[in-house]
Structures are given as structure tokens and as C-alpha cells.
Amino acid sequence: MDLTTVAVPHTLSNLKPLLPAAPARVLEAGCGRGALAAALADMGYEVTGVDRDAEMAAAAGERGVPVIQADVRDVSGEFDVVLFTRSLHHAESLDDILAHAVTLLAPGGQVVIEEFAWERVDHAAAHFLYDNCALLVATGLLDAELPSGDLLEAWVSGHDSLHQGSAMLAALSRVGSDLTTVATSVLWRLVNGRGGVWTEPATRAADALDAVREAEERRIAAGALPAVGVLASIRR
């Protein structure tokens, strides 16, 4: 089920303060099915997507996004922004991929990442995430496997193969200047876990996700939850 009607507006609202004005040239690395790239194009940006996965690249193309099926390290050209949206944590080498990203930038260009710092999750955050997942499963909106035992241990064991947020920020700072970071909510995006399947109708699932996001943001503002989401940028 496509829930980009919830995710994309939230991402755009967070990205806008970091991005140059349209019609800047944006390369989205790991563009997936192209929902964000298409939304940026609608705002007047000149967007190119790149994804290694043939199915994802084809889906992005069907949205009208100019897309390259390749590893971003094999891409050439000049862009005002190289944007990584929840793809950098999978990188084989943070330094290699970010060093290449900088070579794609026009003078004064930016590398921007939207990510999550999984290591920031504490017991309160793990319980918030999995309790909401259990509630969505109980209401029939989500079909997902629920963890058992210590919930923080379950979270760590499911994510410790990914790059930490601190490692991504450190790598980003090594390839550019003027590092800017913003902490955001992100647990609501992860509430379906790995392999969870949303059920119909999409509007009910979207409403539920919105409610979880609002609850997370209230708790972050009150100091009851850590802000696990990370946005960051550097300039060439």
C-alpha cells in the first residue's frame, strides 16, 4: 500500500529549509519508487533519480521522474543538490559514496541527507514504537510480526547492521563544510517494522500514521522521547 500521501509532505516540510530555491538541480540517490522526486519536480526542481534496483527505477520512471538505474557512484554530471533519503544507512562505505557525491556538486552545491539515528532509540522510544505497532495490528490496519522479550534489544538486533546516525554525520562532515543538522520525528515511519503489510483502506492507515506522528512529536517536544530522525547538509 502506498502511504506516500503521509510521508512525502512531512519530508518536504523538513527539507524545504535546507534546499536551495527551485529550479535547482537535484539528484536523489536511492529514489525508490520516485514519490519524493516527483513531488520535488512538481515544486519546480529539476530532479533526477538514481536507484540500483531495477523495479524501483522502473516505478520512478512511471511517475515521470527521469531516472538512472545505477549505483550513485557510477553517476556523472553536475547538480546543485545530491539528496540521500533513508538510503545512506545501507552504504557499503560512507566515505566512498559521500566523496563521490561531492564530485557531482556544482560550486556551492549541497549534499543533503534524511536519515534516522537508530542508536538514539532508548527504552521509551522502543516501547512507543512497538506498542503502536501492536495497536495497529490489533485494529486490523497492519499485518506485522511483533517482537517478544526486551523491546530495546529487539530494536538493536534489528538495526545494528546499519550505519549509525553519528557515523553518517561524521562522514558527511569530512567531505564538506557548514554542517547543518536538524532532529526530527521518524518512529512513526518505522512502526510497520520490516515486512509489515498495511491493509485497506489506505485512508484509515494514513490517518493512523498521522496520529502516531503527532503523538511522537508531542513527546519529543515534552522531552519524553528522543528525536531519532536526522536531516543534515554540507556545502562543497
> pLDDT tens-digit profile of 189-227?
999 987 788 887 788 989 999 999 999 999 999 999 999
Phi–psi pair at 91, nearest 5 degrees? -60, 140
Strand ranges, E, within the chain: 25-29, 46-51, 67-69, 79-85, 105-116, 142-143, 177-184, 197-198, 229-235
Residue 2 clears pLDDT 80, i.e. is over it: no
Domain boundaries, the chain: 4-235
**Mean pLDDT (the chain, rounded):** 95
Confidence at residue 11, expressed as pLDDT on a 0 to 100 scale: 94
Confidence at residue 163, expressed as pLDDT on a 0 to 100 scale: 98
Q: Which sign does the torsion angle of CA 142, 148, 151, 156 carry?
A: negative
> pLDDT tens-digit profile of 96-133?
999 999 999 999 999 999 999 999 999 999 999 999 99
- pTM of the shown model: 0.94
Query: What secondary structure letter does DSSP report for 114?
Result: E
CA distances from 9 to 40, 127, 231 (A): 10, 26, 15
Residue % of the chain over a pLDDT of 90: 90
Give the closest residue to 118 by CA, choosing from 146, 86, 150, 93. Answer: 86
More confident residue, 203 or 41: 41
Q: Return the SS3 of 84.
A: strand
Give the closest residue to 101 by CA, choosing from 125, 79, 124, 134. Answer: 79
Residue 72 clears pLDDT 90, i.e. is over it: yes
- Single-letter code of the amino acid located at 224: A
The three three-digit cell numbers of residue 53, written as one number:
534496483
Confidence at residue 4, expressed as pLDDT on a 0 to 100 scale: 83
CATH of 4-235, one of 3.40.50.150, 3.40.50.1820, 2.40.50.140, 3.20.20.140: 3.40.50.150
Residue 3 clears pLDDT 80, i.e. is over it: no
Which pLDDT band, with edges at 50, 70 and 90, does 35 fall under? very high
CA distances from 161 to 51, 118, 119 (A): 21, 10, 11
Give the closest residue to 216 by CA, choosing from 151, 128, 141, 116. Answer: 128
* β-strand pairing of 67-69 with 79-85: unpaired
State the Cα–Cα distance between residues 155 and 140, nearest whole angstrom.
23
Which pLDDT band, with edges at 50, 70 and 90, does 19 fall under? very high
Cis peptide before 9 (omega within 30 of 0): no
> pLDDT tens-digit profile of 160-197?
999 999 999 999 999 999 999 999 999 999 999 877 88
Helix (H) or strand (E) holding 49: strand 46-51
Confidence at residue 1, expressed as pLDDT on a 0 to 100 scale: 62
Q: Which sign does the torsion angle of CA 91, 105, 33, 68 carry?
A: negative
Confidence at residue 46, expressed as pLDDT on a 0 to 100 scale: 98
